[in-house]
Chains A and B, each alone.
Chain A
Amino acid sequence: MARTTPTHTPALKYILACLVSMALLFSDVNYQTLSPLRGSVQAVGIYSQLFFATTVSRFLEFTSAYENQRTLTRLNNQLRDELQEIDSKLFLQKQSQLITKDMIDLQDRLQILGDQRDGKVLKIASFGLQDYLCCSRHILHLQNPLQFAILMHQPVAVDKTFIGQTSKTHLNLIEVTLFSDSSHILPVKIDGLHCNARGAGKPRLVRCLASEEFKMSDIQEGSLVLTSGLGGVFPKDVIIGKVLSIYEISNNELRIDIALDGNPLDHNYFGILSGS
């Protein structure tokens, strides 16, 4: 009987394949001849499954750990930010308290220094630091927002000593000439002997040119230097510094270098005695 469709399927190969299959099946079912091979393949499959399961499990653990780490890192950053914010607030609060305390202390000292005179505490506006460190002009400016009536040539104090005197006013700014300014002359007293200390043009340094009488005195390095009050600006007997060194310029003349106690770089608030 002719086939209805024109196909060519050689049966030999199929018969051969079926015979081989049957032989394998028979030997395997009856004699278990191929069970080692089958067992090996099954073992490989089981090991593959275990390996896959372990890998997936480790991957999941890793992702979980990574997620936890990310969460912890985020939390850590958040806490650090909060801590920094708290630190900043505390710092500002502390600084505010310190400033208030400094101002109160300075006010008290001004009352001691100024005897019966009024003291005004003013904040620094600017300081010519470059000139102060290199050159002869040593001035600073103080703010006077409340426009106190500050006259020229009033003593300016910090801590327990004076550092200079007012020289000019510009709008709401008060110019202060420091003792170390080379144009400033301050009458001082060293162990009872008087001299005029001129600014050396160097930070915290003034110099006296002393006459012969100083040679006979027992002035030495470290002797206290006080205001003499002779200029009419500063009250007398206020310690302003110590003798730093003594040089003999000529037979009858000495140069005494005086280190000033008051350091304008250490303070933001300065007191001005007025009403003299």
Chain B
Amino acid sequence: MKFTSHLFIFVTIFSGFWLDSLIAEFNIRTYIAALESLPYLVETSLGFLILCYWIYAIPEKIQSSAAFCYGLLVDLCFGSAIGFNMLFFSGISYVIHVYVFRFRIFSYLQLIIFFAGSSMFYVACKYLIFSPENYSYLLLLCSFLINGLLWLPIYFCMRSLRRSFL
């Protein structure tokens, strides 16, 4: 695959993580201002879901090295510990590559459940590694629901982008 295609895919993933950070910032402000008494429940994984889509859509073009590099760049750009996103990107890349043609015959609902579950696992590991004191199953459940709702918009949006530019 051309470098420009990789660049385009990385830009979409980067945009997803950037939106995640914006949403988190907004949530934290709202939480501090108005909802302090409630537990913090909203955690999106747009960047992770976008990466999942690209691997799902063009698995032959995004191999382990690409996932590894995307993870490294995301780690560097967003200030998390180096290796976290690399590990999860490589891992999810392997899983999707193994079952990619099975996913093709899945219904949307099955895809939603799988990718929402994956993102929940991603969020759970993030909290366990970086913020174990804030870890809660309610947060994971909410994250599962929110990311499940986000999957279909991401799927159609990325598909239109793929058909337009790649």
Contacts and interface: CB of A to CB of B under 8 A. Distances in A.
Contacts of B100: 5, 7
B68 interface: yes
Interface in B70-109: 71, 75-77, 79, 81-84, 86-87, 90-91, 93-94, 97-102, 104
Contacts of B75: 38
A23 B82 CA distance: 10
Contact of B90 (A21, A26, A27, A28): A21
B64 interface: yes
B160 interface: no
A9 B90 CA distance: 12
Interface string A15-48: 0111011111111110000100110011001000
By size class, the interface of chain B is 20 to 34
Contacts of B90: 14, 17-18, 21
A30 B59 CA distance: 34
Contact of A37 (B82, B101, B104): B82
Given A4-B102, A14-B90, A17-B64, A42 B84 contact: no
B87 A9 contact: no
A35 B75 CA distance: 11
B30 interface: no
A14 B93 contact: yes
Nearest to A45: B77
B98 A7 contact: yes
By size class, the interface of chain A is 20 to 34
B94 A14 contact: yes
A171 interface: no
Contact of B91 (A18, A28, A45): A18
Contacts of B91: 14, 18
A13 interface: yes
Contact of B68 (A9, A17, A41): A17
B67 interface: yes
Contacts, number: 83
Contacts of A26: 83
A25 B67 CA distance: 16
Nearest to A14: B94
A9 to B, nearest CB: 4
Given A37-B82, A38-B76, A21 B94 contact: no
Nearest to A8: B97
Secondary structure type dominating chain A contacts: helix
A11 interface: yes
B94 A37 contact: no
B82 A34 contact: yes
B79 A38 contact: yes
Given A7-B101, A17-B90, A41 B76 contact: yes
B63 interface: yes
B65 interface: yes
Contacts of B76: 37-38, 41
B63 A13 contact: yes
B129 interface: yes
Nearest to B129: A29
A42 B75 CA distance: 10
A175 to B, nearest CB: 91
Interface hub of A13, A21, A27 (most chain B Cβ within 10 A): A21
Nearest to B79: A42
A5 B94 contact: no
Interface string A172-192: 000000000000000000000
A28 B83 contact: yes
Given A14-B97, A25-B84, A41-B76, 7 more contacts: A6-B101, A9-B94, A13-B63, A21-B84, A22-B83, A25-B87, A34-B81
Interface of B: 59, 63-65, 67-68, 71, 75-77, 79, 81-84, 86-87, 90-91, 93-94, 97-102, 104, 129-130
13 contacts: A9-B98, A11-B94, A14-B64, A14-B90, A14-B91, A20-B83, A21-B71, A22-B83, A24-B83, A25-B81, A25-B82, A27-B83, A28-B83
